């Protein structure tokens, strides 16, 4: 009997800790549920009360979303696994405070960097990308895997590298598909003209 209980307990903990997707359970600061929004149970929401997710958003496993200075991810975005989106940094204040860092109040005049991050509609962020505080990424963008984004990206930019540089625009890629399929054009116009 004891072995059976130990077996059941082990299976239970394996099940609880197994990465899985959660759907339609994210409640935004305004009290509304982000519809059709999925994220891994391993996603780390830091200062969740400052994070707003749009509808139809996907966030892969082991992502870190920091809402310290405010984070908005608009409708239809896909955030891949192991992405870090950071709205604060203590890279200066740790040196200023040294061993007294616990006294830091997290304000800019103490070397603490804060900056809201916004990601526009239907943007794709590749695996392992890092987005730093104060960055705005436009709608319809692609950020390549393992890219380091430390400056704003305009609508439809394709950016890759460390630091990320614009290497093209999604409109050029999309037009190939749009001119051959009227249905895609209608779908595209629906979000693009808002």
The C-alpha angle 170, 176, 182, rounded to 5 degrees, equals 110
Question: What is the C-alpha to C-alpha distance for residues 76 and 92, in angstroms, rounded to an integer?
Answer: 35
pTM of the full structure: 0.88
Q: How confident is the prediction for the chain on average, in pLDDT? A: 92
Active site residue 91: no
Structural domains in the chain, CATH included, are 2-169 (2.160.10.10)
Which residue in the list 82, 88, 121, 139 is annotated as catalytic? 88
- Residue 85's SS3 state is strand
Long-range contacts of 88-97 (CB under 8 A, 24+ apart): 88/112, 88/113, 88/114, 88/115, 88/133, 89/113, 89/132, 89/133
Question: What is the C-alpha to C-alpha distance for residues 19 and 29, in angstroms, rounded to an integer?
Answer: 25
**pLDDT confidence of residue 155:** 97
Model confidence pLDDT, tens digit, residues 14-61: 777 788 889 999 999 999 999 999 999 999 999 999 999 999 999 999
Q: Which of 16-25, 64-73, 96-105, 181-190 has the highest mean pLDDT?
A: 64-73
What average pLDDT does this structure show over 84-89? Answer: 96
Model confidence pLDDT, tens digit, residues 95-136: 888 998 888 888 777 888 999 999 999 999 999 999 999 999
Torsion of CA 160, 164, 167, 173, to 10 degrees: 60
Alpha helices in 25-109 (DSSP H): 93-97
Smallest CA-to-CA distance from 54 within 35, 31, 40, 41 is with 35
Question: What is the C-alpha to C-alpha distance for residues 43 and 60, in angstroms, rounded to an integer?
Answer: 7
Q: Which of 50-54, 87-91, 187-191 has the highest mean pLDDT?
A: 50-54
Q: Rounded to 5 degrees, what are φ and ψ at 3?
A: -65, -40
């Amino acid at each position: 009997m004891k072995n059976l209980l130990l077996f059941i307990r082990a299976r239970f903990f394996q099940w609880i800790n197994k990465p899985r997707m959660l759907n339609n359970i994210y409640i935004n600061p305004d009290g509304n549920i982000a519809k059709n929004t999925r994220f891994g149970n391993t996603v780390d929401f830091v200062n969740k009360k400052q994070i707003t997710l749009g509808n139809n958003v996907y966030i892969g496993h082991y992502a870190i979303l920091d809402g310290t200075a405010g984070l908005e991810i608009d409708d239809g975005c896909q955030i891949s696994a192991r992405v870090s989106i950071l709205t604060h940094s203590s890279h200066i204040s740790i040196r200023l405070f040294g061993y007294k860092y616990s006294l830091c109040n997290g304000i800019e005049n103490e070397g603490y960097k804060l900056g809201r991050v916004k990601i526009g509609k239907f943007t794709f962020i590749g695996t392992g990308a890092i987005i730093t505080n104060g960055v705005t990424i436009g709608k319809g963008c692609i950020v390549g895997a393992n890219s380091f984004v430390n400056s704003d990206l305009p609508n439809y930019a394709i950016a890759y590298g460390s630091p990320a540089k614009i290497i093209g625009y999604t409109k050029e890629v999309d037009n190939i598909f749009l001119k051959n399929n009227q249905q895609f054009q209608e779908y595209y116009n629906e979000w693009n003209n808002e």
